[in-house]
Structure 1
Amino acid sequence: MKATSPTLALYPPGRGGGMVEYQLNQTRSISLLVRDKSVQLYIDRRLVSTGPGLDEELKNLEFRGGDSWSKGKVEFRDISVLRTDNNLAPADGQTEEADDRSAFLTPPGKDIDAALQLAEKDKKRVLVFVLDPLQQHSHHLKATMSSPETQKLIDANLVVVFVSDPEEKHIAGQVSDVSPAHPAWVLLKPDGTVAEKGDAAMGANRGLKWIQKLVAPQ
């Protein structure tokens, strides 16, 4: 990157800690995950930089854009502030995934290509959830799946897959507008075409209506 390229970075640690170059009039999804031990910058659901944690209560957030020489002018839209009491260690993250899998009648797979083959054979579609086990996604997903009717409709109509990389084959670039604090989902046809996509942070009633809509005759 050139020294004067427009970039997005977290301060501290600054440009040396990781940055992303952007273009004028380009929309990017930006999230800050603030913990006691660290502050992390996510851009389009990818971790870009990690800064020091908070020594005292967070009182102000200042949003700026531009390059290393000037502030520039940036429009921020759809700003959400979400609380997450998440200081999970990797081992706890594995427990989270086991919790997520238990919310389905048929345990989700981890291979999108294998799921597409099965979907073609069984005349189903593939529902891919993009989950980060360290982001405490479990309570969102379990709330969405908490209705027994939702579980039965998914089991009868969809092949479910869990992945952690939003840039994985078949879904790359599809969920960049979803906050990393929420589980994202992508619905694929058996040929790998994206049918729909969205955010799986919802409760039992909305979750049921969402699945009823997804499995309705096309």
Structure 2
Amino acid sequence: MPDTAIPPSYPVTPMNRVKRRHDRGHYDHETVHAILDSSAMCNVSYVIDGQPYCTPTLFWREGTTLYWHGSSASRMLRNLSKGEPACLTVSHLDSLVMARCGFNHSADYRAAMCFGHATLVTDLEEKKRALVMMVDRFFPNRTAGLRQSTAKEIKATSVITMEIERASAKIRAKGVGDDEEDYALPIYAERLPVRSVIGEPEACPRLMPGVSRGEDLKAYQPGRTLDEALREAYAEAYGG
């Protein structure tokens, strides 16, 4: 019998339903998680006393749970410590699209929006584990070879966790999309791909003699896209 199992998806409600261009909306875990795992930075939105804020920060995912970190003195982390509602977003610009009409100029992109209630990680052992994964998610097994963080450093850093309660992804990968009659116009149009590409490593000039680049950085080779390197590192770090 063919496998007809429905892949896991996030519930669709008025909060996360894509309002415009429903055909570009995705709610399945695979699509949402792939967009998240291809990014190192996110933006976290929240409200304090009626004033909206949006903070960029590093983040990572474990299953359907998101983590991010910051200084213990951070306004964001002080506010998002007791189950406050938050929205975490990431976006990738894949191309700029020049059409034959200004209205049809666009961009190809991948974006994900995740909703939940953010909570401060208070258990010390869980916090230590999370701070290890803050590094190892990007550079698998790197922490084991580093100078270990002191109690003071750990205390100065806070970690926030948020279960993804609802999420949506929105993807445009169309390229040039003119009105049919406009294709006959003598106007140049193109899709201009945009990529974040890893450059040549720049070793610290104060390295001790004999210290070389380790396996923890093998995903980050010059010429590779950052998307590809991050996905590979995530798969190795979490055995997926």
Q: Which has the higher contact order (CA 8 A, sep 6+)?
A: 2
User: TM-score with structure 2 length normalisation?
Assistant: 0.23
Which is higher, the Rg of structure 1 or of structure 2?
2
User: TM-score with structure 1 length normalisation?
Assistant: 0.25
